[in-house]
Chain A
Amino acid sequence: SAVISQKPSRDICQRGTSLTIQCQVDSQVTMMFWYRQQPGQSLTLIATANQGSEATYESGFVIDKFPISRPNLTFSTLTVSNMSPEDSSIYLCSAWDSPGDTQYFGPGTRLTVL
């Protein structure tokens, strides 16, 4: 199984600033995803991080707000831009080796925006 780490594990940020979250997988994976989990709620898919091309965003999420990079098969970043208190959530990185395979999750990054 893939082991996924994220940095930072948590952060407290000021309104209007941006935060970049890093996701590292211990093996090469086909697919990487970013999810958001708002307090007390389920996970919502933000986007699929595509290696070598622009990420594919879900309805309600846009590249200007959540730019994503994926320079190789083991690493991705998610930036939360121009943050507001509504962006306070846990952001989770996920990956699988091949479509339809088990999807593993990182520990999450707990973001609080003041």
Chain B
Amino acid sequence: GESVGLHLPTLSVQEGDNSIINCAYSNSASDYFIWYKQESGKGPQFIIDIRSNMDKRQGQRVTVLLNKTVKHLSLQIAATQPGDSAVYFCAESWAGTALIFGKGTTLSVSS
């Protein structure tokens, strides 16, 4: 079946650094992608999304990049803070179907 995978299971950064979390997807028909943040004991929290007709989208301190040629998605967090420590999931969807999730990357920010 189709799946979304992540390159790195853990990422450790210093406070103030920029973080980059990567994601590879396998379904070339996917047209919608989301990044979620999940803190311990909580449900996934929406961070940012992007549609397949775009290659970059910016939010507050976050940027999502989409490379359809190599089926790669990344989340960039600027000036990472301790409060950014969490598990980050990418998820994909196509033709309005339910989201399919990747394995998750744990981001650990030390001060």
A43, B89: Cβ atoms closer than 8 Å: yes
Residues of A within 8 A of B41 (CB): 110
B98, A45: Cβ atoms closer than 8 Å: yes
Q: Is B99 located at the chain interface by the 8 A CB criterion?
A: yes
B100, A45: Cβ atoms closer than 8 Å: yes
Q: Mark B42-82, 1 if CB is under 8 A from A, else 0.
A: 11111001010000000000000000000000000000000
A100, B31: Cβ atoms closer than 8 Å: yes
Q: Is B96 located at the chain interface by the 8 A CB criterion?
A: yes
Known: A92-B43, A104-B46. A99 touches B101 (CB 8 A): no
Complex Cα spacing A104 to B99, Å: 11
Complex Cα spacing A43 to B92, Å: 12
Q: Interface residues of B toward A: which range?
A: 20 to 34
Nearest-CB distance from B43 to chain A (Å)? 4
Nearest-CB distance from B16 to chain A (Å)? 29
A100, B96: Cβ atoms closer than 8 Å: yes
Residues of A within 8 A of B91 (CB): 43, 103
Complex Cα spacing A1 to B46, Å: 10
Residues of B within 8 A of A99 (CB): 95-97
A42, B1: Cβ atoms closer than 8 Å: no
A102, B49: Cβ atoms closer than 8 Å: yes
Known: A100-B31, A100-B32, A102-B34. A43 touches B96 (CB 8 A): no
Q: Mark A29-44, 1 if CB is under 8 A from B, else 0.
A: 0010101000001111
Further contacts, 13 of them, CB under 8 A, given A42-B103, A99-B95? A41-B104, A42-B89, A45-B99, A92-B43, A92-B44, A94-B99, A100-B32, A100-B95, A102-B49, A103-B46, A103-B91, A105-B43, A108-B42
